[in-house]
Structures are given as C-alpha cells and as structure tokens.
Amino acid sequence: MAAAFATFERLKTKGLSAYKTGEYAAARSYLTEAAECLIELAENEKRRDMRRQHEEMAGELIELAKECGRRKSAPHGRTPRAAERESDSASVADDWLATEKPSIGFDDIAGLDDVKEEVRVKMIYPLTHPELASRYGISVGGGILLFGPPGTGKTMMAKAIAHEIDGAFYVVSPAQILSKWVGEAEQNIRKLFEAAKDQPMSVIFMDEVEALVPQRREEGSAVMQRVVPQILQELEGFDRKGDRRLLFVAATNKPWMLDEAMMRPGRLDTLIHVPLPDPPARFRLLEIYLGPKPLADDVDFGDLCDRLEGYSGADINNVAQQAAKIPFLDAIAGAEPRKIQMADIDTVIAEVPPSVRAGLLDRFERFANPGA
C-alpha cells in the first residue's frame, strides 16, 4: 500500500509540474496514471472516508488530465470553453482513433508470414473473393491475440494490418479505459466498439491486454469484475456477415495472465505466437535498420545475422543505432567522418546482450505448445 501511494505521489508531482510548464501531453499521461493508482488505492481502502477522499481526488486529477487534452488539441483562435463543449459532445472513441492511417504494410515487416496469412484469411481474402467466402461459410473479422517476447514487432504488425485493409485504426491502452473517466470504464468499452463498428473497415488494437482482462478472482477489483464481462460481450457481438468489418487485435507479453474466457472460440479465437526473428527475418531487419547507414566494406550482414541469434527486432535496431553513434561521436570530437565498420558493431554486440531471457522464451514455447 505504501509503495502504491509513493507511486501515486511521484506521478502526481510530475503531472502537476508538466502542467505548470505547459507540457500538456506529458501532464495528461502522468495525471491519468496518478488517478489510476489512486483508484486502486481506493478499492483497497477499508475506511469509507479515506476511500471517498481518494475517489474525489482521482476525479479531480482526471478532470485536469482532460483539460490538458483539450489544451493540446484546441485549434488556434477558439476558447478552451468552446473546445470543452465540442469535446463533451464528441464520441469518446475519437480519442483512440489514429488521425493518420498507418503507412507501414506487410512488406515493411520482416518475417511473421503466418501472422500475415491469418490476417489475409480473416479480413482480406473474404473481401477479394466474396463468392467463395459465402460458399464455404468463411466469416469476416474476429479476434486475434499476438503473444510473444517484447520487441518482436507485435505493435508494428497491428499497424500494418490496418494499412493492408485500409481501415480505421483505434489504439487503446488499458489505462485509458480504466481511469480516464472514473466509474465509466464499461461505457468507454461499449462506445469504442460502437464507433469501430460504424466504420466500413476497422481495427481495434489493444496492447498489454492482460492488464485489462486478467484472470478473474473473487477478491479482485470491483472495476475489473465489470469490465471483463463487458469486453467479452463486445467480442461476441461481432456481426461477421454484415457490411461492417471489425478486427480486434490484442497483444501481450504475458499471455498466461489473461482470463481464460477471453481465449475461447468466438472471442480471441486465433492465438498467434510472435517469436524472436529467425535468420531470414534478422537479415531483413539488418537491411532495414543498418542498411541505410554509411557502411564500410567489411560489414557482413550474413555473419551478423548468425551472431544476432536471440536478439529481438528492437534489439537489432538498438545495435544499429549504437554502432552508428561510435563514428558519429568520433567525428564530433574532431576525427575525420568515416563509415560504420564491423569493429564498431562488434563493440556494441559485446556490450549489449539480448534483452529476452532464455527462461522467458521457454515459457512462451510452453504456452504456445501446451501438449508438447
């Protein structure tokens, strides 16, 4: 309890400081997280007066976070009051709709061919071959769970899916749903799905889904006991034969923490393991992250591809960035600008091990192949 309150105080202090300096985006994030901590404290507080005090303060922080959002987005020349009126009348889901559709597609992502094919089966082939889909009873849309180690491209895949189907892209975080409006988490979920279903084609992407749909316990949070059934109801409510196509993509680094009901057929009915990149994918990642940089003739992608086994896509990107810094800093110090050499990359690899532990990989394998 003391640790949670210390976290709340830290987030609140950072949020208020950012608000005072006009850094409204950062302030909104900190204040929302502070309110979330306070809501959790209130749920665990036995004293009724303290619980009410926590809830009231959380409400004040959320209102301030909403004001930060309006200040950030209100067009020039309009008063905050006018922006507030428009914000209150707009759909809640607008906060989660990406203003620009993602520009990356499947060709920009190394590997993950099974994920791409599953998306094609669910969203693309039924649209390009409607008569065949009707003949074989293939429905459109549904739910996909992407699970695997951090840094393997789950978020990029969600963006690429929205790009490939040319659909509206909703990006949702559990913190937004749970604490943006106190006591309205279920309504937020319902409004989100209603807005997505109004689009001809849409993708809802929820990262860290285990935080929103954890395994339920009798002594668990009262908020979660209401939120989890609402999400399950929305997932079951897809009209997969109508003219509104909706794909729900959830991602997690901890699939074993998800409520089992979430992974039944008709909900997240397709579970896809997103593993660390294989050799062809690592080679492609080197082309993406290291290829555009000035490279010396001794840089051998084939050799690097073998040596980077166990590295995630994010790890390989980091190796490329750190290797580029070596000649960059040398040039700043007065040396003649030069290309990135294999020795620079060797130095980085020696200092930067893979971020994903072997024990965690074993756990993902057991989850992906429970009968093995």
pLDDT, one tens digit per residue, over 88-136 is 334 555 565 655 678 888 888 888 888 788 878 877 788 788 889 889 8
Residue type, 318: N
Indicate where the chain has its CATH 3.40.50.300 domain(s): 106-273
Q: Note the CATH number of domain 2-90.
A: 1.20.58
Lowest-confidence range among 5-14, 220-229, 322-331? 220-229
Supply the pTM of this predicted model: 0.66
Q: What is the pLDDT of residues 318-366, one digit of tens each?
A: 999 999 999 999 999 999 999 999 999 999 999 999 988 888 888 888 8
Alpha helices in 90-212 (DSSP H): 113-119, 125-128, 130-136, 154-165, 174-179, 185-197
What CATH architecture does domain 106-273 belong to?
A: 3-Layer(aba) Sandwich (3.40)
Residue 147 · residue 210 · CB < 8 Å? no
Mean pLDDT score, 185-209: 81
- Calculate the average pLDDT of the chain: 79
What are the backbone angles phi and psi of residue 170, rounded to the nearest 5°? -105, 125
What are the backbone angles phi and psi of residue 363, rounded to the nearest 5°? -65, -40
Alpha helices in 294-355 (DSSP H): 301-307, 313-332, 342-351
**Exposed, middle or buried: residue 84 (CB in 10 Å: 0-12, 13-18, 19+)?**
middle
Estimate the crossing angle of helix 222-236 against helix 185-197, to 10 degrees: 20
Check residue 187 and give its pLDDT: 74
Contacts of 242 (CB under 8 A, 6+ apart): none
Mean pLDDT score, 172-176: 72
- Closest-CA residue to 248 (of 124, 117, 143): 143
Check residue 82 and give its pLDDT: 36
Indicate where the chain has its CATH 1.10.8.60 domain(s): 279-355
Confidence grade of residue 73 (pLDDT, cut at 50, 70, 90): very low
Check residue 88 and give its pLDDT: 39
Lowest-confidence range among 58-62, 272-276, 311-315, 331-335? 58-62
Return the CATH class of domain 279-355: mainly alpha
